[in-house]
Amino acid sequence: MSDPILYSLDARGVATLTLNRPELHNAFDDEIIACLTGQLEAIEQDPAVRVLVLTGAGRAFCAGQDLADPAMQAVDGKMPDIGNVVERHYKPLILRLQNLRVPTLAAVNGIAAGAGASLALACDLVVASQSAA
């Protein structure tokens, strides 16, 4: 299984995080959220990073929550508490991105839906390709 988030840092201090689940349009699951959160924490601590570019692999930026994720499945006929999922996972992630010490740029290369749109809009600047229409 490949890494859900790819990281690179160039000589100019430009860090790039690439959501790397192209077969699922980079939809979020618990693993990708945890990995992205950890990467943002590491970027916050790295003085070599001067700017962050966030993008997606393949044809999509991020399609939002992966509805096939086990955390989103009914248990004993009861659906998951979506408000709790937002409070536990997405709110801390978006706030961390908004408050990052370096400027952030969302390079939106395709669909940005649901939580994916929130991720893009949490960046300081959003640049969308024509394929993102």
Query: Span 13-32, mean pLDDT?
Result: 96
Query: Span 14-30, mean pLDDT?
Result: 96
**pLDDT above 90 (res 105):** yes
φ and ψ of 29, to 5 deg:
-135, 180
- Residue 97's nearest CA partner among 39, 57, 29, 30 is 39
The neighbouring-strand residues paired with 107 are: 55, 127
Task: Give the integer Cα–Cα distance in Å for 40 and 66.
Answer: 21
If one compares 16 and 2, the residue with the highest pLDDT of the two is 16
Query: What pLDDT is attached to residue 1?
Result: 58
